[in-house]
Amino acid sequence: MTAGSRKFWSWILSILVSGILLYEALRGVAWAAVWHTIATAQWRYIAAGSATTCLSFFLRSLRWRILLNAEAGLPVSTVFWANMVGYLGNTFLPARAGEVIRSLLISNRSALSRTYVLTTALSERLMDVIALVLCSSVVLLGVRNKPVWMGKASGAMAVLAGAGALVIMILPHTGNLVETAIRHVPLPESIRLRLQSLAKQVLLGLRAFHHWVRFAGFTLLTAVIWSTDACGTILGAKGLGLSISFPVALLLLSAMGLGSALPSTPGYVGVYQFVAVTVLTPFGIGRDAALAYILVVQAVTYVLVPLLGLPGLYILQGGSLRELSAQARK
C-alpha cells in the first residue's frame, strides 16, 4: 500500500469507529436535558477544574523532562511548549501525530536524535497505560457496579500492561543481541548501519528508566499527575451538579486514556462520549448528564490546548501545525 492509500484507509477506519461509538453513546439521549445541565452549570468549578488541567500539563512536562535529561539538559520551558504543541497535534490531527511533532521539536532544539526523543515520548505513554491499568484494576476490585466493557477487558489489559513493563525492563539489556541479529541480516551495508544506529537510540531511550532516581521521580510525578487529573474531574463534575467520587474519577480517566488508543477522529469524538456514558451510568449518573459532562470537558480542551499550544508552536518553530506535521513525517 502506498502512503496515500494507508492514510485514506486510516481515515475510513477512524471515522467508522468514531461513528459507531458516537451512535451508541447518543442513543436515547434527551438533548433538552443535556443543554439544561450545561446552561445551569456553575462555571467557577469548571474554571477551577481547568486550572487543575493546566497544572497537570505542566507536571507532565516535568515528567518527560526527567527522561530527556538522561542524555541532555533541557530547560523546563522548552519541554513544556513542545509538550503543548504535541497535545495540539493530538487534538486536531489524526493518528496521534502530536507524539512525533513534540519529538521533532525537542530534537530540533537539542543534540538529541529524533529516535531517542520519540522513544522517550512513547515510553512515557506506555508507562501511563501501565499506571492506568493498575488504577482501573484496583478500582474495579472495590466497586460492585462495574462498567461491562471494562470488567471484560481488565484481564487482557493487565496482560498487555505487564508485557509493556517487561519490554521496558528487559529490552535495554539486549543491545549486543540486537546488534548481532542486525549484523547477520542480509541487507546492504548502508541500511544495516542505519538499523544499528536506530536500535541503539531506541534502547538508549528505554534505558532512561534504568536509573532508580529517575524512575522514582517519574513514578512519583505519575501518581501526582493522575491524582491532579482526578481532582480536576471531580471539580468539573461538581460544576455540572454531578457527584463523582475519587475512585470513579480515576476509573473514568483510565477509560478515557485507554480509549484514546482506538482509531478515532481528531479530538476523540465518539470515543470519549462512549466512555463517559458507559463508565458513569453504572454509578448513578444518567446518560444525559454524562454526555453533558464530556461535552463540556471536550469544549474546555478545545480552548485550553490551542491557548497553550499555539504560543509554543510560535516560540519553538514558527509556521503552521500542518507544516510541522509534514516535516515530522519525513
Where are the chain's structural domains? 27-329
Which pLDDT score is estimated for 174?
76
Give the separation between CA 291 and CA 188, rounded to whole angstroms: 55
Which pLDDT score is estimated for 105?
92
User: Which string of DSSP letters, residue by residue, matches 145-207?
Assistant: S--HHHHHHHHHHHHHHHHHHHHHHHGGGGHHHHHHHHHTS---HHHHHHHHHHHHHHHHHHG
Give the separation between CA 29 and CA 154, rounded to whole angstroms: 28
Q: Are the beta carbons of 263 and 10 closer than 8 angstroms?
A: yes
Give the separation between CA 294 and CA 288, rounded to whole angstroms: 10
Give the separation between CA 109 and CA 111, rounded to whole angstroms: 7
Q: Are the beta carbons of 158 and 133 closer than 8 angstroms?
A: yes
Which pLDDT score is estimated for 322?
67
Q: How many CB atoms lie within 10 A of CB 295?
A: 18
* pLDDT, tens digit (0-9, with 9 covering 90-100), for 315-330: 887 666 666 666 666 6
Helices (H), the chain: 3-26, 31-39, 43-68, 76-92, 97-108, 114-142, 148-170, 175-183, 189-206, 212-239, 246-259, 271-280, 287-316, 321-329
Give the separation between CA 234 and CA 46, rounded to whole angstroms: 10
Give the separation between CA 35 and CA 311, rounded to whole angstroms: 32
Which pLDDT score is estimated for 330?
63
Supply 236's cell numbers: 468539573
Give the separation between CA 312 and CA 318, rounded to whole angstroms: 9
**Taking Cα atoms as reference points, which of 120, 106, 104 lies closest to residue 207?**
120
Instruction: Give pTM, 2 decimals.
Output: 0.88
- Cα torsion 316, 321, 323, 325 to 10°: value is 100
Which pLDDT score is estimated for 17?
87
The residues of the chain scoring below 70 in pLDDT are 1-4, 95, 151-152, 154, 175, 318-330
